[in-house]
A and B are shown apart, each in its own frame.
Chain A
Amino acid sequence: MRQVFLTANNIISPLGLTSDQNIAEVAREKSGISQHTDSKILPVPFCASIINNEVLDTAFAEIGNATQYTKLEKMMLLSLRDTMEQANFSISEKTALIVATTKGNIDALGNDFPSERAYLPVLGEVVQTFFGFKNEPIVVSNACVSGLLAIAIAKRLIQNEFYENAFIVAGDIVSKFTLSGFNAFQAISDTPCRPYSKNRNGITIGEAAASAAITSQKTIDAIEIAGDGSSNDANHISGPSRTGEGLYNCVQSAMREAQMISEDIDLISAHGTATLYNDEMEAIAFNRSKLEETPLHSLKGYYGHTLGASGLLEAIVGVHAMKNNTYYTSLGMDELGVSKPLQVITQVGSGNIRTCLKTASGFGGCNTAVVFKKSED
């Protein structure tokens, strides 16, 4: 089967409106998380990573009328616009549009936009119409693995020659809907989240959009999508597996396809939500995979958990880590607080990063893994 590459990309977050701006902030360990008081979202003050509306609207004014689009749409459209400008291809009959989101415009159930806007196909159509995509959008809504799964879906459809290339965009917002729900689960940390730390006590929610160009045409700085896999725990709809079953299975599936063994993986960009059970589950799965000595980070300390956006956003940071040969810090880590060893990165370092394993896990027992590889000339 033919090779498939990730090329142009963008991240829209509180840390910046381009991938380069985001990477520069991650490199200096700047977090987008801050404390917010907004009774329209939660009755008590909360930590979250939220994009400033004025910054977003000012940037959006260059490409469209900010009042006609929801916040999520503006984030996604701006992100995709930047990716498309850098990409080595433009939209054709053989270009797929993949939109990944956990909750889409869920705020439309409670704000001034018509509630029909909350239907995910409507979101897909907004993106399709804005740029003039020829094919019906493929909307992926698979909980918190959505963004990473979108990469795997694009790669598989291109590999099997259903499409030549794809633009993928993933996004989710901080809303009363999600924050109240996670809060009811008592899953929200009262301080910025601390993945894998002994002192972790829950997630921080964030909002972001990320996008990427996926193509069978190799470019100079293309990163190969060398393997992927997804697997269900078949254990619990909201609790992570105690054996790390699904995560272990999908990591094995991705490495097998990439023809790699654990020693070949140079960096793990893990999910690391900072709940007690999720991080413990990951430690077990990575140990079962013999990856306990591989440098690992979670980026939730910078962005919070950006739900359906997280997998793509964090994969893009991983791609830049490979290009820059830089190990970025797992922000919030102090003392390891999981029962198995992990090499959590505690300071920025350099090294030859040829490969990166990105993982994600979510409600419904879903897990996804993708292996990226620097392409050799």
Chain B
Amino acid sequence: MSNKNYYISTYCSLQNGALFVNGKATLEMDRSLPFIVLAKTIYKETGINYPKFFKMDNLSKLAFLTAEFLLEHSALSEKDVQKMGIVLSNKSASLDTDRKHQESISDDKNYYPSPATFVYTLPNIGIGEISIRHQIKGENAFFVFNTFNAKGLFQYAASLLASKKSNHVLCGWVDVDKEEYKSYFYIVSKEGMYPHTEEVINQLYINNEWKP
């Protein structure tokens, strides 16, 4: 068993209208706001300037915003960020956007499939958007689990670090399904504040304000 010790340095979550960084609510809004409005508001209020954001689907927007605040609060150098691995997961894959593409092709008399929608019918596109934004050229994987799976993320991140495929791994959960959305990202490294264990990963997922 890989018994080397790894650590979680930074973690970030966006859910119920609030953004949490390292266990602290840094932005709180009306939790009833639809995600599309919330995403735009956060983008504007925090002064992000990245016009490609507006072309993204909701899943990519959620992944993009979460990575934005996670990396802003991380102490990693630009060089380390560019080599980091990205391992994300969710339950709904890209179904939220898949339904939009399906709608555009379901009626033969009103048939209008759009490349701009179709390209987002893959859950890993968000990894691509984060990679483009931060010039990250490391390992990639997108997993789909029925519920948040700390064990799956733990084992794969530990494997990437132990086999030296990555020195740092951005891990997490990013799910959008109709009105529901939730993200939770964290960085695993050889050094950091909190032990990289299934228990810690789970606690941070369950309670945004929990501190190990």
Point out residues on A near B: beta carbons under 8 Å.
1, 39, 43, 102-104, 106, 109-110, 118-121, 124-125, 136, 138-143, 149, 153, 156-157, 159-162, 176-177, 180-185, 229-238, 245-246, 249, 253, 257, 362-366
Contacts and interface: CB of A to CB of B under 8 A. Distances in A.
Contacts, number: 171
Given A109-B98, A139-B143, A183-B113, A237 B125 contact: yes
B207 interface: no
Q: How large is the interface on B (under 10, 10 to 19, 20 to 34, 35 or more residues)?
A: 35 or more
Nearest to A364: B128
B136 interface: yes
A106 B98 contact: yes
Contact of B122 (A182, A185, A364): A364
A156 B127 contact: no
Contact of B132 (A106, A138, A162, A235): A235
A141 to B, nearest CB: 5
Interface in B86-117: 86, 91-93, 95, 98-99, 101-102, 105-106, 108, 111, 113-115
B159 A249 contact: no
A184 B102 contact: no
Contact of A229 (B91, B144, B165): B165
Contacts of B136: 232, 234
A187 B171 CA distance: 33
B124 A366 contact: yes
B128 A160 contact: no
A249 B139 CA distance: 10
B121 A181 contact: yes
B138 interface: yes
Contacts of A125: 146
Nearest to B118: A181
Contacts of B144: 120-121, 124, 139-141
Given A106-B98, A176-B105, A237-B125, A231 B141 contact: no
The 10 A-B pairs at the shortest CB distance, nearest first, are namely A181-B118, A364-B128, A121-B146, A156-B159, A232-B131, A184-B113, A139-B144, A120-B144, A234-B131, A364-B124
Interface in B75-90: 82, 86
B210 interface: no
B98 to A, nearest CB: 6
B139 A229 contact: yes
A101 B77 CA distance: 35
B32 interface: no
Interface in B128-150: 128-129, 131-132, 134-146, 149
Nearest to A184: B113
B163 A364 contact: no
Contact of B156 (A157, A235, A236, A237): A157
B131 A181 contact: no
Nearest to A162: B155
B168 to A, nearest CB: 14
A142 B152 contact: no
Contacts of A149: 141
Nearest to B108: A43
Nearest to B177: A119
B139 A109 contact: no
Nearest to A96: B155
B37 interface: no
